[in-house]
Amino acid sequence: MPDEPAPAAPVPPPGPVEFRVDTRLAALKVTGAVVFLLLAVVFRGDPGRTAFAAIGGAVLAGYAARDLFVPRRLSADADGVTVVEGFARRRRLAWAEIERVRVDERRRLGTRSELLEIDTGETLHLFSGYDLGMPVGQAAQALAALAPPGLTSAPTRQG
């Protein structure tokens, strides 16, 4: 009897994935906030410069706080995705609620930007490579491996 090929082992579904802010970027924001706040102290005799430095430091400190307290911006598993809304609120979306996941690429004035879009029909959740801690295309591929067939779409290019 000829050797028959062994039946292929079932492929396990991919495990959950998480996308986090790059810690180097968070550290850069903290450093920038400290520098701006120190400049506010140095320029305390000039109200305009003090205000500018203090506002810049406060804004960077706010962004840094979000990166430190909510580093995981997106996670996904076989049941759906969890996204961050607003400053730090999390929302769970079942795959059935999601109409489309795509990469939006735009080119303008010699620059290129990419965003991962998760569209529920009522809300649109946007994530940059900075939010995801990896290139947007790679994140989209990881989500496509977990999503039901036919959900994700090809990158959209707008110039």
Interval 29-57: pLDDT, tens = 999 999 999 999 999 889 999 999 999 99
| pLDDT of 150 over the 90 cut | no
Task: For 59-73, write each residue's pLDDT tens digit.
Answer: 999 999 999 999 999
Q: Say what the pLDDT of residue 78 is.
A: 87
Handedness of CA 37, 42, 47, 49 (dihedral sign): negative
Residue position matching structure tokens 């079932």: 10
Q: If phi over 0 gives left and psi between -120 and 50 gives alpha, with beta otherwise, what is residue 86?
A: left
Residue 14, helix vs strand vs coil: coil
- CA distances to 14, 105, 141 from 11, rounded to whole Å, are 9, 32, 17
SS (H, E, C) 48-94: HHHHHHHHHHHHHHHHHHHHHHCCEEEEEECCEEEEEECCCEEEEEE
Q: Say what the pLDDT of residue 132 is.
A: 92
Give the mean pLDDT of 87-91. 88
Could you give the CA distance from residue 29 to residue 39 in angstroms, rounded to a whole number? 15
Q: Say what the pLDDT of residue 58 is.
A: 95
Q: Say what the pLDDT of residue 8 is.
A: 57
Q: Say what the pLDDT of residue 16 is.
A: 87
Could you give the CA distance from residue 102 to residue 111 in angstroms, rounded to a whole number? 20
Higher pLDDT, 76 or 7: 76
Could you give the CA distance from residue 130 to residue 20 in angstroms, rounded to a whole number? 8
